Amino acid sequence: MTTFKRPLRVLLAKLGMDTHTVGVTVIGHALREAGMEVIFTGLKQTPEMVCAAAVQEDVDVVGISTLSAGHTRSLPKLARLLREAGASDKLLVAGGVIPEEDKPILEEAGVDRIFTMGSDTRDIVAYLESWWAQRPAEDAA
């Protein structure tokens, strides 16, 4: 019997007071075009709100778009909250204006992948598809 995977479920969010939506909108569109299910939490989210939504919606990926300072506090907090909620199996990715010197801080805290501003949407889609393909089918049923 062949087991087919369901579409990848991605939660996109903007943490803090960042109200720039162009990037997250473009990413969301690219992911939908690739056949992924995308849930956008909206603006001005807290790490607690994003964690709760990720657990409630049972997503596979949590994607954070950031264009303002604060990501070195909010993203590690979100990663910790996801672990505490038993949701450490979710892929945590971030993108936007993230200085090179901040990447090690975020990676050490549990951010799985960082896409800097100008990343090609095809590369983002390919990364998520590759990650999803490596997951056991029973985890993705």
CATH number of the CATH domain containing 52: 3.40.50.280
Residue 16 counted as domain residue:
yes
Helix or strand or coil: residue 74? helix
Residue 28 counted as domain residue:
yes
CB 16 within 8 A of CB 69: no
Q: State in Å, rounded, how far the first CA of the chain is from the last one.
A: 13
Q: How many domains is the chain partitioned into structurally?
A: 1
Residue 43 counted as domain residue:
yes
Stretch (H or E) spanning 57:
helix 47-57
The closest of 27, 19, 21, 20 to 11, measured between CA atoms, is 27
Q: Which domain holds residue 115?
A: 9-102+110-132
| Each residue's pLDDT tens digit, 91-138 | 999 999 999 999 999 999 999 999 999 999 999 999 999 999 998 876
| Each residue's pLDDT tens digit, 19-33 | 889 999 999 999 999
CB 28 within 8 A of CB 76: no
pTM attached to this predicted model? 0.93
pLDDT of residue 136: 83
pLDDT of residue 18: 85
Residue 65 counted as domain residue:
yes
- Give dist(CA 119, CA 21) in Å, integer: 16
Residue 139 counted as domain residue:
no
pLDDT surpasses 70 at 141: no
